[in-house]
Amino acid sequence: MVQELSLMLRSTRIPRLLKKHLDTFLKGENGLRVFFPLCGKAVEMKWFADRGHSVVGVEISELGIREFFTEQDLSYSEEPVTEIPGAKVFKSCSGNISLYCCSLFDLPRANIGKFDRIWDRGALVAVNPGDRKRYADIMLSLTRTGFQYLLSVFSYDPTKHAGPPFYVPDAEVKKLFGSMCNIHCLEKVDAFEERHKSWGIDCIIEKLYLFTEK
């Protein structure tokens, strides 16, 4: 279910909120390392790579990773990740996109280094609520000094839809990330679409947070 959701939420278009707040996220810096948790086949990965940044993602679905490279017309290689049995890493021949096919919770064993930026859309909201603390701890362990972390979550009536994507209240965002991060809510937008009626809800809000180092 998590892999299906991450693939579903990763749009074939650049998310509007990301485009709107891109300058705030990047701060005009070049050559950044950008991490995509539960990346699916997000088109933003090529978008960032084309702008000179180094992209690393993790995705449990090998099909999603292969489809990303195929759909973006990128040649790639694959090799085993020796630290994680059964895991693979797919690398663009240009060298600036590396996608790990494994569980995100196994990823720290691969020693992938630290990141300047994290773009978290369709990831935290897909994680089982009982695993959120472990997830947040891994995300924060991957940040380097001066990091910027963009998080997109959804707000709706959880009594009408159990998830996924799971409802993540403001208080939980602060609980998970507030000890290490300054938390800024950049924007709230109406994200309701016709398909959400099947969830039994009539309102859903997307919230975009920016975390910076305390």
Coil/strand/helix, residue 137: helix
Whether the model pTM is above 0.75: yes
Question: How many Å apart are CA 186 and CA 188, to the nearest integer?
Answer: 7
pLDDT one-digit tens code per residue, 67-112: 999 999 999 999 999 999 999 999 999 999 999 999 999 999 998 9
Question: How many Å apart are CA 120 and CA 146, to the nearest integer?
Answer: 17
CA 29 to the chain's CA centroid? 20
| DSSP character at residue 129 | G
Burial of residue 108 (CB within 10 Å: 0-12, 13-18, 19+) is middle
Counting residues of the chain whose pLDDT is more than 90, the rounded percentage is 87
pLDDT in the model for residue 13:
72
Cis ω for the linkage preceding 80 (within 30 of 0): no
Pair 150, 209: CB distance under 8 Å: yes
Pair 59, 99: CB distance under 8 Å: yes
Average model confidence (pLDDT) across the chain: 92
Say whether pLDDT at 1 is over 70.
Answer: no
Question: How many Å apart are CA 170 and CA 41, to the nearest integer?
Answer: 28
What phi and psi values does residue 198 have, to the nearest 5 degrees? Answer: -70, -15
pLDDT in the model for residue 12:
58
pLDDT in the model for residue 159:
92
**Across 200-214, average pLDDT:** 95
pLDDT one-digit tens code per residue, 117-150: 999 999 999 999 999 999 999 999 999 999 999 9
